[in-house]
Amino acid sequence: MKILKDIKSVDRRGFMAFMSGLGLGGTMFPGVLWAQIQARREITSEILEDAAAVAGLDFTAEEREMMLGGLNRNLDSYAQLREFDVPNQVAPAVQFDPTLPGRDLPSERRPFRFTRHVDLRRPADAETLAFMPVSQLSQLIRTRQLSSTELTTLYLERLERHGPTLESVITLMSDRALEHAARADREIASGTYRGPLHGIPWGAKDLLAAEGFRTTWGAVPYEDQVIAEDATVVRRLEDAGAILVAKLTLGALAQGDYWYGGRTRNPWNLEQGSSGSSAGSAASTAAGLVGFAIGSETLGSIVSPSTRCGVTGLRPTYGRVSRYGAMALSWSMDKLGPIARSVEDCALVFDAVHGADGRDPTARTTPFNWDSERPLSDVRVGYFRRGFEARGATDHDRAALETLRSLGIEPAPIDLPSDFPLAALRIILSAEAAAAFDELTLSGQDDFLVRQTAGSWPNSFRTARMIPAVEYIQANRVRTMLMGALEAALEGVDVFITPTSAPDQLVMTNLTGHPAVVVPSGFNDNGTPVSTVFVGQLWADAETLRVAKAWQDATDFHTRRPPLFG
């Protein structure tokens, strides 16, 4: 107790330095002890007045005096909660549901139909093979023109050769991959074909657990972390016969493209980062290092790197893919989805991974009725009028809309709700992320994250500690109103096209949980890609993919290769 009394006036950083001098600076213990010390500090009326100002509140002196007893008792409760071990994978008891009450979920099941490349022949050169879409690679493997072992060896060699240049690979899984590829070849040779992903090598964003391998979350404090089971997505892809060849980079704790080993590069311009946070997934797919990859999105982490790297990404409807075994950042906003070289590839991967697993309480099973030749006349298509009229809209955006019209579609104009405080609603993500990594903040191990700017996670987590719980709940109530307003705005369409940078659409649709497909739609003057986004109604992932595929089939942007890698 003498130590506690002597250091009550020391700030947290000074306290961490003091504990380091005792040889305790490298453990989580100092953060817990610091929390206990804070619990013993008595809140006074003057402290409360300053704290109220941080929360944007004003109480009279009499009101503050009345509050002191309860606030000081709360400090004891906080200390007890901080001493209780809560692993990152434990979700809050309060769960987000993107479907408003009284709405029916889709239930009709129809046959799964994908494109069959009947007369496809194996290309002569390895580079062409490396950049082929999954829908074609699967045909070569199924017809035994190509073995999984050959393809896996090719991708492992490319990962070894180009991964360091792109800084896109955290863990190469060569032995496991070759073992699984040999098993796939034996199965196929014996007549056991699991489907279009059988024998196809893929890469996992390194927030997905794979038993026996590190899952680093891109951050120094977790650099040696090994989780003793597979994430549901990893297990389902293995069941489909896909071959996991590498754990790929992500910005530290799913922010940006800076990870503990460097910055992941854009294959089209190595002076640029690949954007985040699915940085390695997008860069490796674009450079022909894997057949496809899995990424995640909370607020743009599939859309943004897919745009930067010129690949195709699917952000599914919230709740369609289990997040069990994936790092949690925001329980009410995180989604897992495929990043690939074509829209149909995304559909093939999504078909293998979607559905409830009994482990992620938000995951649901609804029919995914993919039909690559479904008539476009079956789908009601719109365009985001305000997005195309905005100052930031480009010639590429307008050309993308004209391409859609060239398919015989006359999209109906729609406008998204414009009177909601979307920037304010970002406190939902901030508060949940700070809770997910509260132990880092309390322990001082946030100092080990590579990025230490005002907008980086360490400062964001600390700042989010000052978000009042009431405001977090209020933000979610406004979110419910936003969901209703967006539902009304989309009443006449199943899918709409929008510029990727259109005002509000990215933040809004991530908050509401709507699916999106991002496709490359051209190149800037400096040779780097640009993109267009198709957004669908909740659960209309198949319809969104179908319209995006038709649009992509009318272009060739997705077939182009970054010159340094192709």
Catalytic residues: 205, 277, 301
Helix (H, G, I), strand (E, B) or coil at 99: coil
Q: What residues pair up with 337 in beta bridges, in sequence order?
A: 295
Which whole-number Å values give the CA distances from 171 to 28, 210, 291, in the listed order? 26, 11, 17
Distance (Å, whole) CA 415 – CA 270 = 37
Q: Across the strands, what pairs with 499?
A: 532
Q: Is 272 exposed, middle or buried (0-12, 13-18, 19+ CB in 10 A)?
A: middle
DSSP conformation letters of 396-450: HHHHHHHHHHHTT--PEEE----SS-HHHHTHHHHHHHHHHTHHHHHHTGGGGSS
Residues 6+ apart with CB under 8 A from 360: 91, 232, 322, 323, 324
Query: CB burial class (10 A; 0-12, 13-18, 19+) of residue 79?
Result: middle
Among the listed residues 156, 136, 131, the one whose alpha carbon sits nearest the alpha carbon of residue 146: 136
Beta bridge partners of 522: 530
Determine the Cα–Cα distance for residues 431 and 447; give it in Å rounded to an integer: 19
Beta strands in 311-376 (DSSP E): 312-315, 335-340
Distance between CA atoms of residues 104 and 261, nearest Å: 47
Task: Return the structure tokens found at 408.
Answer: 């015989």
Residue the block writes with tokens 């745009």:
307
Residue 427 Cα to chain centre, angstroms: 18
Count Cα atoms within 13 angstroms, Cβ side, for 125.
4
Please give the angle made by the CA atoms of 232, 233 and 236, to the nearest 5 degrees: 85
Cα–Cα distance for residue pair 368/386, rounded to 1 Å: 31
Q: How far apart are the first and last CA of the chain?
A: 66
Main-chain phi, psi angles of 321, to 5 degrees:
-125, 125
Q: Are 290 and 249 in contact (CB under 8 A)?
A: no
- Residue 422 DSSP SS3: helix
Which two three-digit tokens encode residue 563? 């010159």
Hunting for tokens 């009304």 — which residue is that?
488
What is d(CA 7, CA 410) in angstroms, rounded to the nearest whole number? 70
CA distance 564 to 562: 6
Instruction: Decide if 44 contacts 68 (C-beta within 8 A).
Output: yes
